[in-house]
Structure 1
Amino acid sequence: MKPVGVDLSAQQLGKACQRWPGADGMELHQADALTYLAGNFTVFDAVYGVFGASWFTGPVLLSPVVRAGLKPGGVFAFPQRPPVEGCYGCSASYIPRGPDEDPAVVKRWDYEPDAWAPILKEHGYVDVSASMIAPPSGSRLTGALLVRAVRGSQEPGSEQP
């Protein structure tokens, strides 16, 4: 099994090289994750998103593309920041840039933990779990929502009665 990293940011890919210099056979690709996965012929054991494509790409678009790249029984897992109460589905996120630039405005998808199971099951995943991980005690961090789903063997919509 070889690790593969995909990110739009060359800076993030550089950090990956620094963090895991001895990762045998690691491949890094500067690309949009959705585009990369849709055009890739590798079958993965697991796809793990780190506050990236799984947050900034609608699950209706991303879930089937990730599933197609997973072997049956493969795992799709991703963390996100906890959703802001009342702001579910597609929301705007403002990302700071340079001091003389307006923030970048991007779409992100936030859901409560129990909303993830029906979304992912609709796209052929089973054993879906989503849970909140509390921040360290005394921390100003917000914690994280961790979602995990397993690629089912049946195609979506072909469930037996």
Structure 2
Amino acid sequence: MSLVESWDRYAVGSKPRRAVNGKGETTWLNWTQYADHGPDESVLGPLAGRRVLELGSGSGSNLAHLVTLGAVGQGVDVAPVREVVARERWGDLPGLEFRTAEATAFLSETDGTYDVVLSIFGAVWFVDPDTLLPLIRSHVAPGGILAFSHLPPGSQGPKTARAGLRHDRTPDEWERILTGHGFSDVRVSLIDPPEGAAVGTMLVRAVAA
């Protein structure tokens, strides 16, 4: 099974995001694997007028939220069904585009420059950082933000064929890798899980030097 087929099958089986969250909001940003848990978009700084790229944009809900706050959003996902779902739900939102592409292929072809790049359990977790990060850095404006989240290293992830492809790194390793690829001010947070859950979330933020 190809990479695209694998992710497309996973996407088809994924549960859609709720229409409204616990606060009654119709759009929101969720860094963790738990509903209504963790920090919000303030991790990314001011968003009005900013060009935002999400690698692994899924159903588009996180990126759509940033666009409602004034950002211009480009979402990229390797699974074709993700683009279909995202366009169906968010296609009428101005300033928001979705594209089916593998992350490194997209970054190798695009001439776009972004102020913010984010990956929530997305490409940064699944693509060799020594391949992906230089490509990301080449498309982030100086002073721009890269932020991504994934499960902490060594934690039990989804029992899928993709589990062996994850690039788990410790906080110290991420700081070293990101600094080596042109980023600075690396901050790594370990977000505790909500009560009753066992696995937290790692959130990494860095600035394009």
TM over 0.5: yes
- Alpha-carbon distance between aligned partners in 1 of 2:192 and 2:84, rounded to the nearest angstrom: 29
Q: In structure 2, which of residues 154, 179, 186 is the aligned counterpart of residue 128 of structure 1?
A: 186
Give the match's secondary structure for 2:94: coil
Query: Going by fraction, where is helix more abundant, 1 or 2?
Result: 2
Q: What is the RMSD of the two structures over their aligned residues, measured on CA atoms?
A: 2.4
Equivalent residue number for residue 201 of structure 2? 144
Q: Which residue of 2 aligns with 1:117?
A: 175
Conservation of the 8 A alpha-carbon contact between 1:50 and 1:79: yes
2:131 pairs with one of 39, 42, 61:
61
The verdict on how the C-alpha distance between 1:20 and 1:133 changes in structure 2, with shifts beyond 3 A counting, is farther
Number of aligned residue pairs: 139
Is the partner of 1:3 in helix, strand or coil? strand
Pick from 74, 77, 97: which aligns with 1:4? 74
1:102-113 superposed matches below 5 A: 103=161, 107-113=165-171
Deviation at 1:51, TM superposition (A): 1.1
Structure 1 position 50, deviation (Å): 1.8
Aligned equivalent of 1:23: 93
Gap change, CA 1:15 and 1:132, over 3 Å in 2: farther
1:76 is the counterpart of 2:76: no
Cα deviations across residues 98-121 of structure 1 (Å, max 9, x unaligned)? xxxxx4575210011121111100
Query: SS at the partner of 1:109?
Result: coil
Measured against aligned partners, the alpha-carbon deviations of 1:4-50 in whole angstroms (never above 9, x if no partner) come to 00001123223433554553121111000111011111100110012
| CA distance in 2: counterparts of 1:149 and 1:19, whole angstroms | 31
CA shift digits 1:125-146 (9 cap, x unpaired): 0010111111111235x22100
Taking structure 1 as the reference length, what is the TM-score of the superposition?
A: 0.77
Tell whether the 8 Å contact from 1:94 to 1:106 is kept in structure 2 after alignment.
Answer: no
Aligned to 2:65: none
3-state DSSP of counterpart to 2:196 = coil
Rg: which structure is higher?
Answer: 1
SS in 2 for 1:110: coil
Percent identity reads: 37
Unaligned runs of 5+ in 1: 86-92, 96-102, 153-161
> After TM superposition, what 4+ stretches of structure 1 lie above 2 angstroms from structure 2?
10-23, 103-106
Amino acid aligned to 1:73: G
Q: Distance in 1 between matches of 2:145 and 2:89?
A: 23
SS at match of 1:145: strand
TM norm structure 2: 0.60
* Separation in structure 2 between the aligned mates of residue 38 and residue 137 of structure 1, nearest angstrom: 42
**2:55 paired residue number:** none
